[in-house]
Amino acid sequence: MKKSHHHHKKHYDQQLRYFEQEFSHLSRYHLSPWQKSYVERARKFMLHKDFKNKKFLDIATGSGYMAIEMAKKGLNVVACDLSPTSINNLKKIKKKVKLENLKLVLCYAEDIPLPSNSVDYISANAILEHIPDENKAIIEWMRILKKGGRLYITVPLKFKYIWPFFWPVNYIHDRRIGHLRRYDLNDLQDKFNLTVKKVFYTGHLIKVFGVLTGMIFRSANFEELLEKIDKKYENNAYGASNISVVFEK
């Protein structure tokens, strides 16, 4: 374990425990409505017209939905994660779906074994806020991304955009899931210093309420309806809980 990783060992151990538990329930591959939206946005706003055979890196791939869907579209995908359970689940899915163009790597998000300027697209969904040394991660991602390449990042949005009534709930959620910080567009622009191609805001209040209600009664149609409502407000920061940005290097 490298020095900086060793220094943050307690944080990483907690993270691993939480996400290993999360991923251990994923026995079959299934795209939920919000995951479909993320993939659709990536296709529409991140990929160039001639994306076939281009190199795509999915950082902290988790359930692997983005990596799998991009591999299905014909991109050469590398999916990396710190969770052995995540990587093992994906190995099974890869075999089942017969995706030769999907490579799986167990590694830290700040220490990815890929050459410099080797990747056309990077997806980093819900990872930057978990990393103690975020600058180290950003430098590493920028090293790997080609000039003209695109980065699609999603992070939790700063509390000032969330209705104060929900601050305690979000604060507890942050602690439980291991969020170390939240961001807004200015923060991301300052940190990455890249050209902004597109900005979305997701996880609006109505959806959060719906998710809580959905814990009581679950239905696919209900989830799809919530996703449609959330999409309607994707240009609206206020009342959202996440920000997604497509950057170009």
- Reported confidence tier of residue 219, pLDDT bands at 50, 70, 90: low
* Encoded tokens for 134: 């975020």
* pLDDT at residue 74 in the model: 97
What pLDDT does 27 receive? Answer: 60
Counting residues of the chain whose pLDDT is more than 70, the rounded percentage is 79
Using an 8 Å Cβ cutoff, are 129 and 180 in contact?
A: yes
Does the structure show a pLDDT above 80 at 62? Answer: yes
Please identify which residue in the block is written with the tokens 């374990």.
Answer: 1
Q: In this structure, are residues 151 and 249 in contact, taking their beta carbons and an 8 Å threshold?
A: yes
| Whole-number Cα distances in Å, 208 to 41, 212, 214, 240 | 20, 6, 10, 9
Chain CA centroid to CA 185, Å: 16
Tokens of 132: 């103690």
Instruction: Grade residue 10 by pLDDT with cuts at 50, 70 and 90.
Output: confident
CATH number at residue 31: 3.40.50.150
Q: For residue 126, is pLDDT > 70?
A: yes
Report the domain count for the chain.
Answer: 1
Cα–Cα distance, 195 to 207 (Å, whole number) = 30
Q: How crowded is residue 45: how many other Cβ atoms within 10 Å of its Cβ? A: 16
Per-residue confidence (pLDDT) for residue 211, from 0 to 100: 55
Q: Report whether pLDDT(78) > 90.
A: yes
- 151 residue type, one letter: L
Mean pLDDT of 215-223: 59
Amino acid at 50: D
Average of per-residue pLDDT across 57-72 = 96
State the chain's mean pLDDT as an integer: 85
Q: Which stretches of the chain are assigned E, i.e. beta strand? A: 55-59, 76-81, 102-106, 119-125, 145-156, 195-202, 242-248
Full domain range(s) for residue 109? 3-248
Query: Of 41-45, 62-66, 118-122, 236-240, where does mean pLDDT reach its minimum?
Result: 236-240
Q: Is 12 helix (H, G, I), strand (E, B) or coil?
A: helix
Is 80 exceeded by the pLDDT of residue 171? no
The pLDDT value recorded for residue 237 is 80
Q: Give the mean pLDDT of 5-25.
A: 68
Q: How many angstroms separate the CA atoms of 22 and 60, rounded? A: 13
Average pLDDT over residues 135-144: 98
